């Protein structure tokens, strides 16, 4: 019998299971524009029976992840790891808080802040810079939309020269099914080329990216073929990566990127700087400052008002300041695990009392 109860967002509200809910994202950062979504994040607890008899549900969300609620234990776990989104949620500005249980006030962000922030905030921000570099590469060197085949990476070696297989076939007035291949011993990706007058079945030259190999019938090869397998393998990875990026990119953000023509994802770059600045705040002041004071500057980044290379240099300078600030910081290396687990136990006792 399945005793696991799947909860919906409506269940959390109807059964009074919420501990906290707030508007998050750009609206909390003070960076919202007319096109910004309204994201809501929160924390909930399970009914006592479900908590005891089932694998605790970790989160509940809508289809687009615009609304996400974390189970209390999962929320504490993410705080322990100094997850940026979760630490920011704990420091939500008052005007964005929709509901807060008195119990939630016992979760103090200072209990969780540690030098891990340098990795979770700053290093994550640099991973976004790498994404921006990747986008720059995709924009400036886009993959040819027509997918290439293994034959595009084949060359014929004959008469002391090499030429693309397609050109050689054209010169010989041949189709790729008019030739057959046999591997040359001890030579990687080199093949004998035989004329196929029907005795080899007029098979396609390749099947599933591998050459069709035949046993020659005392015929003499008419040429040698080289298949550049390394180049083909690299191309396949790049092509797959490009198509995946093309499929997953946000249409509105891509349109904005094309309009400002600075070859970077403005929204990603804006949040890169927001995270770097927040990491510096934590190192210097020991607190998470969610509402950013430099709204205009950050929105200028989003709208492509800066050159790509200038932004990268600016980010590197910020990272140097962050390194120095964390060296001087009095923050612990890691949060106090035992103390936090005791807090979680106390919260659960109060909830289920």
**Which CATH number goes with the domain that contains 25?**
3.30.460
Q: Which residue has the tokens 């008195």?
A: 102
- The pLDDT value recorded for residue 142 is 55
Instruction: Give how many domains the chain has, as a whole number.
Output: 3
| Statement to judge: residues 289 and 255 lie in one domain | yes
Contact 69, 61 (CB under 8 A): yes
How many Cα atoms are found within 13 Å in the side-chain-facing hemisphere of 297?
9
Residue 1: the pLDDT is 41
Residue 236 counted as domain residue: no
Whether residue 3 contacts residue 54, with contact meaning beta carbons closer than 8 Å, is answered with: yes
pLDDT of residue 253: 53
Domain contains 239: no
Q: How far apart are CA 31 and CA 299, in angstroms?
A: 7
Residues 6+ apart with CB under 8 A from 82: 112, 113, 114, 116, 117, 119, 120, 121, 335
pLDDT at 208: 83
Say what the pLDDT of residue 82 is: 96
User: What is the average pLDDT value for the chain, to the nearest integer?
Assistant: 87
Max Cα–Cα distance, the chain, nearest Å: 89
Are 126 and 98 in the same domain? no
Q: Residue 8: is it exposed, middle or buried by C-beta count within 10 angstroms (0-12/13-18/19+)?
A: exposed
Same domain, 40 and 180: no
**If the chain, 353 residues long, is cut into consecutive pieces of 10 residues, what is the mean pLDDT of each piece?**
67 93 96 90 92 82 92 96 95 96 95 95 78 54 70 90 93 93 93 91 88 88 94 89 73 54 74 94 96 94 87 89 95 96 96 91
Q: What local confidence, expressed as pLDDT, does residue 238 receive?
A: 83
**Which pLDDT score is estimated for 53?**
77
Count of CB atoms within 10 A of residue 69's CB? 25
* Span between the terminal Cα atoms of the chain, in Å: 28
pLDDT, residue 144, reads 58
**Residues 43, 107 within the same domain:** yes
Round to whole Å and give the CA distance between 213 and 37.
Answer: 57
Q: Are 238 and 256 in contact (CB under 8 A)?
A: no
Tell me, yes or no, whether 328 and 267 share the same domain. yes
136 and 279, same structural domain?
Answer: yes
The pLDDT of residue 201 is 87
Same domain? 24 vs 39: yes
Cα–chain center distance at 322: 24
131 and 155 inside one domain? no
- Each residue's pLDDT tens digit, 319-340: 999 999 999 999 999 999 999 9
Which domain range does residue 280 map to?
A: 115-142+249-332
Query: Which segments within 159-300 are labelled E, that is strand?
Result: 161-164, 179-183, 190-195, 206-207, 210-211, 223-227
Q: Are 84 and 124 in contact (CB under 8 A)?
A: yes
The answer to whether residue 154 sits within a structural domain is yes
């Amino acid at each position: 019998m399945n005793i696991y109860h799947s909860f919906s967002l409506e269940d959390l509200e109807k059964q009074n299971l919420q501990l906290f809910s707030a508007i998050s994202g750009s609206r909390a950062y003070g960076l919202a524009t007319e096109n910004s979504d309204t994201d809501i994040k929160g924390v909930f607890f399970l009914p006592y029976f479900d908590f005891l008899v089932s694998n605790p549900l970790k989160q509940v969300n809508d289809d687009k992840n615009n609304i996400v609620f974390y189970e209390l234990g999962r929320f504490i776990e993410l705080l322990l790891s100094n997850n940026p989104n979760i630490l920011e949620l704990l420091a939500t500005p008052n005007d964005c808080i929709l509901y807060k249980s008195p119990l939630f006030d016992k979760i103090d962000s200072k209990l969780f802040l540690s030098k891990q922030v340098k990795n979770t905030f700053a290093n994550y921000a640099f991973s976004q810079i790498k994404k921006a570099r990747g986008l720059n590469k995709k924009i400036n060197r886009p993959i040819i939309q027509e997918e290439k085949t293994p034959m595009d990476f084949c060359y014929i070696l004959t008469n002391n020269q090499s030429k693309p297989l397609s050109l050689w076939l054209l010169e010989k007035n041949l189709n790729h099914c008019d030739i057959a291949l046999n591997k040359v011993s001890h030579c990687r990706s080199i093949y004998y080329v035989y004329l196929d007058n029907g005795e080899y079945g007029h098979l396609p030259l390749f099947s599933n990216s591998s050459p069709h190999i035949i046993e020659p019938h005392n015929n003499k090869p008419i040429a040698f073929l080289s298949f550049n397998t390394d180049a083909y393998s690299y191309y396949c990875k790049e092509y797959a990566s490009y198509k995946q990026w093309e499929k997953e990119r946000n249409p509105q953000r891509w349109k904005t990127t094309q309009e400002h023509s600075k070859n970077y994802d403005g929204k990603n770059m804006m949040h890169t700087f927001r995270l770097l600045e927040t990491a510096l705040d934590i190192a210097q002041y020991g607190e998470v400052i969610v509402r950013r004071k430099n709204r205009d500057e950050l929105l200028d980044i989003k709208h492509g008002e800066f050159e790509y290379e200038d932004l990268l240099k600016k980010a590197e300078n910020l990272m140097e300041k962050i390194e120095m600030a964390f060296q001087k910081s009095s923050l612990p290396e890691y949060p106090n695990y035992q103390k936090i687990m005791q807090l979680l136990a106390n919260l659960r006792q109060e909830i289920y009392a």
